Amino acid sequence: MIDFELKIRSRDIGTLLSTLKKNNPGTDLSAIQKAYLFANAAHEGQLRLSGEPYIVHPLEVAIILAGLKLDTITIAAALLHDTVEDTGTSMDMIEKAFGDEIAQLVDGVTKISAIKSMTKATAQAATLRKMLIATIKDIRVIIIKLADKLHNMRTIMFQPPENQVRVARETMEIYAPLARRLGMSKISSELEDLSFHVLDPEDYNEIKSAIAQRDTELEAYLENVRKLLDKQLRELGISAEITGRAKHYYSIYKKTKEQKKTIDEIYDIRAIRIITHDITDCYGILGVVHTLWSPIASRFKDYIAVPKSNMYQSLHTTVIGPEGHRLEVQIRTEKMHATAEMGIAAHWLYKEDHGATRRDYKNLTFLKDITEWQSDLKDTREFMKTLKMDLYENEIFVFTPKGKIIKLPINATPLDFAYAIHTEIGNTTVGAKVNSQMVPLKTRLKSGDIVEVMTSKKGHPSEAWLKFVTSPSARYKIRTWLRKQIESATRADSDERQNSDKTAAVSIPKDEQIKLKGLSKQRKIGITIEGASDVLIRLSQCCQPIPGDDVVGFITRGRGITVHRRNCPSLKRLNNEKERFINIMWEASSDTFYPVKVAVEAIDRPNLLKDIADEISLAKTNIIKVEAHLENSDIAMFKFILEVRGNDHLKEIIARLKKIKSITRVYKLNEKVVLK
C-alpha cells in the first residue's frame, strides 16, 4: 500500500548505509560512500522539482535497491546513474574512478533514457519493452532503471499535471509490465498503483476507501484463521509465518472491470499467505489446510513442481474457510517468496544457494569475490539469452537516425533495413553507417544499432546482394528489380524488331497519358472502431480492404489494429484468438482514397495501354503504379495499383475496363475471384 500523503522524507547516506548493514552485510560500504561522494559533488547545485537537492533522487534509488538486497556494484551504479546524463561527468571519469563494471551499468541506464526519448509513440510500447531487454547486456541495468522509475513515480506530484499523465502512462505501458515480466511483482504493483492514482484518481480513491471500510472486518477474520492454523502447525512442529496478502489497488480495479464483479464480490474471497523454511514443510502445511477446511479441487495449483516462466513458485489452494467464505491460500518457502516479490533481483540474493544446503535467507551474504562475480555474470548472460529467446525468437530491433524502431529478422544487414524502409531506398542504396561508422552493406546488424543508409540515383541492386540479404521481402524486391532489367532489355530488343514489323508491343509506360503518382504519405484511413479512438489502424496488405467491404479488426501485438476483409484467408489461422478481433466500420467519407491492386489481362494490340489509361482516368482515379509484361507472345498482363474511394468505385472501374476491346479478364489482386 502506498501512502500518497507521504511528505518528503529527506533520507541521507546514513539511511542507505544502515539499510545495507542490516540487509546486506556483505556490502563494501567504503565503495558505496565513495560513489555517494562522487555523485553528490557531480549534482552539486542541482535541485529536484520538489526543491530538494538532486542527490536525494539517486540516494532513494539506491535505498530501494538495498531493500531488494542487491550487490555493491548495483548500488554504487544506482548512486551514479544520473551523473553522465545530467551533469558534466563523462563515462571515462566513472570508469577511472569505479572500474569497468560500474561504468557499464551507468552507461546502460543512460542509454535507456536515450532510447526512450527517441521513441514516443505509445503504439510502440510493446516494442520498446522488447527493445530494452534485447539491447541490454546486464539485467541489473533494468533493475536500476525500474528503481529509478519507482522513485520518480513516488515523487510524481511535483511534476506539472501534463507531465504526470505522460509519465504515468509510460510507466503503465512499459515499466510495470517489464517489472512483471522479470517477476518483480512488488515493484510492478507499486508502479501500477502509483500510475493508477495519476491516471484515474476517482476510481483509485473509490477502491481505496472501499477497501479501508472492509479492512477491520477482514483483519478479525484473518486473525481467527491464523489462530486455527497456528495451533495445528505447532502440534506438527512446523514453524511458519502467516500473513494477509498485500493490497494492490490496481489489480482489484482490473478484476472489477474484467470479471465485471463488485468490490464486495472480490473481497468475499479472503486470502492468506504462509511462508515457511523448506519445501517439505510446504506440502505438510497444505495437508493441514486441507484437513481444517475442505478444498475446492479445481483451484489447486502446484507451482512448486511446475514453476511459472518468470520463476514464480508457490502452492495455491482455495478452501471453504470459516463462516463459509472462500479462502485463498498461498504456501511457499522464504526463498520462493523472495523470488515472487523480487523476481530476477532474487537471482543475486540466492546465488550461493544450491538447493542441497538449507540457508536462512536473512543471513545470506553477498558475493564480493570478483571471480565469483564473473561466474555470476556468465549465469546472467545465460539467463538473458533464454529470456530473449523466449520473448522474440528471431527478431532484432534497430533504429533509424530519427529514432523510429525497425524490426528485422536476425542477421539482417543494412540492405534489409533499407528495403524495410522503402523499396526505392533499397534499390538505390550505395553505402551504410551503423552507429555513425561506415560499414559494408553485408554487415550483420544487432539490436539497438542506429542505422543510416546512403542512396544515389545511380545506385541499383546487384546479383551479389542476394547472397547476404536476410529478409524475404528484400530478396523479393531485389529479384524483381533484376528481372525487370532483363525483361526491359529483351523488350527493347523485340520492340525494335516489332517496330520494323509494324506491330506494336506492350512496354512499361513512358508516355504522358499515364500520371505516375507517388504514394501519398499520410493517408486518412476512415474507419471507426466501436468504443475506441486514437488507435493505430492499418489496412492489411493481404486483402487490401476498401470502403464497402465487410471488414473486421485484428488487435496485433504492439502494432495497433489491422483491418482485414471478413473473408480474408489469412484470418483462418487466427481463429483461435477470437478475443483479439474487434468490430469496425467504415466512416462515410468521399475524400479518402485507398490503394488496390488490379490485374488486367488482354490480347496484346497497339494502343492497348493507352485505352486502359484513358478509361481509368475517366473513372476519376489515379494510377499509383503499373507493371506490364507479356505472357506467351501475345497475352499482356498488367498489374495496376489504383486509388479508389471504395468498393462501388472499384466496381465502376472494373466495368469500364471490361468494355475495352481485347481485354479478357479484370480482377482485384489478392483475391482469387475472377470478375470477368
444 in helix, strand or coil? coil
Task: Give the shortest CB-43-to-Mn ion separation in angstroms.
Answer: 11
Task: Give the shortest CB-105-to-Mn ion separation in angstroms.
Answer: 13
User: What CA–CA distance (Å, rounded) separates 271 from 207?
Assistant: 18
**564 in Cβ contact with 543 (< 8 Å):** yes
Measured from the CB atom, is 82 or 615 closer to Mn ion? 82
Count, residues near Mn ion per rule CB under 5 A = 2
User: What CA–CA distance (Å, rounded) separates 146 from 295?
Assistant: 38
Measured from the CB atom, is 82 or 671 closer to Mn ion? 82
Among 148, 449, 604, 671, interactor with Mn ion by CB under 5 A: 148
Pairing of strands 584-586, 527-529: antiparallel
**183 in Cβ contact with 343 (< 8 Å):** yes
Among 20, 43, 76, 82, interactor with Mn ion by CB under 5 A: 82
Measured from the CB atom, is 46 or 262 closer to Mn ion? 46
Measured from the CB atom, is 145 or 248 closer to Mn ion? 145
Closest residue to bound Mn ion by CB: 148
Measured from the CB atom, is 80 or 418 closer to Mn ion? 80
Segment interacting with Mn ion (CB under 5 A) among 1-9, 76-84, 258-266, 374-382: 76-84
Residues assigned a catalytic role? 85-86
Contact residues for 174 (Cβ-Cβ < 8 A; gap 6+): 125, 128, 129, 132
Task: Give the shortest CB-124-to-Mn ion separation in angstroms.
Answer: 22
Measured from the CB atom, is 116 or 444 closer to Mn ion? 116
Measured from the CB atom, is 168 or 285 closer to Mn ion? 168
**405 in Cβ contact with 131 (< 8 Å):** yes
C-alpha distances in Å from residue 305, one per residue of 181, 272, 308, 313: 20, 21, 10, 8
Task: Give the shortest CB-118-to-Mn ion separation in angstroms.
Answer: 18
Contact residues for 195 (Cβ-Cβ < 8 A; gap 6+): 153, 168, 169, 171, 172, 176, 250
Segment interacting with Mn ion (CB under 5 A) among 142-150, 155-163, 243-251, 547-555: 142-150
Measured from the CB atom, is 113 or 243 closer to Mn ion? 113
Measured from the CB atom, is 148 or 192 closer to Mn ion? 148
Distance of CA 403 to the CA centre of its chain: 16
Distance of CA 146 to the CA centre of its chain: 16
**484 in Cβ contact with 478 (< 8 Å):** no
- The DSSP secondary-structure symbol of 272 reads E
Segment interacting with Mn ion (CB under 5 A) among 80-88, 127-135, 323-331, 636-644: 80-88
Segment interacting with Mn ion (CB under 5 A) among 79-87, 238-246, 310-318, 462-470: 79-87
Q: How many residues does the chain have?
A: 676
Task: Give the shortest CB-45-to-Mn ion separation in angstroms.
Answer: 17
Could you give the string, one character per residue 207-246, with x where binding to Mn ion holds by CB under 5 A and - elsewhere? ----------------------------------------
Task: Give the shortest CB-370-to-Mn ion separation in angstroms.
Answer: 28
Segment interacting with Mn ion (CB under 5 A) among 143-151, 200-208, 566-574, 616-624: 143-151
Segment interacting with Mn ion (CB under 5 A) among 145-153, 296-304, 397-405, 538-546: 145-153
Is 192 among the residues that bind Mn ion (CB under 5 A)?
no
- The DSSP secondary-structure symbol of 384 reads H
Buried b (16+ CB within 10 A) or exposed e, 427-439: bbbeebbbeeeeb
Angle at the Cα of 8 from the Cα atoms of 6 and 14, rounded to 5 degrees: 115
Could you give the string, one character per residue 92-131, with x where binding to Mn ion holds by CB under 5 A and - elsewhere? ----------------------------------------
- The DSSP secondary-structure symbol of 450 reads B
Task: Give the shortest CB-81-to-Mn ion separation in angstroms.
Answer: 6
User: What CA–CA distance (Å, rounded) separates 319 from 343?
Assistant: 27
User: What CA–CA distance (Å, rounded) separates 112 from 480?
Assistant: 39
Could you give the string, one character per residue 526-555, with x where binding to Mn ion holds by CB under 5 A and - elsewhere? ------------------------------
**585 in Cβ contact with 568 (< 8 Å):** no
Task: Give the shortest CB-377-to-Mn ion separation in angstroms.
Answer: 24
H or E stretch covering 229: helix 201-236
Contact residues for 167 (Cβ-Cβ < 8 A; gap 6+): 152, 153, 156, 159, 198
Locate 5 and state its grid cell. 500523503
Return residues touching Mn ion (CB under 5 A): 82, 148
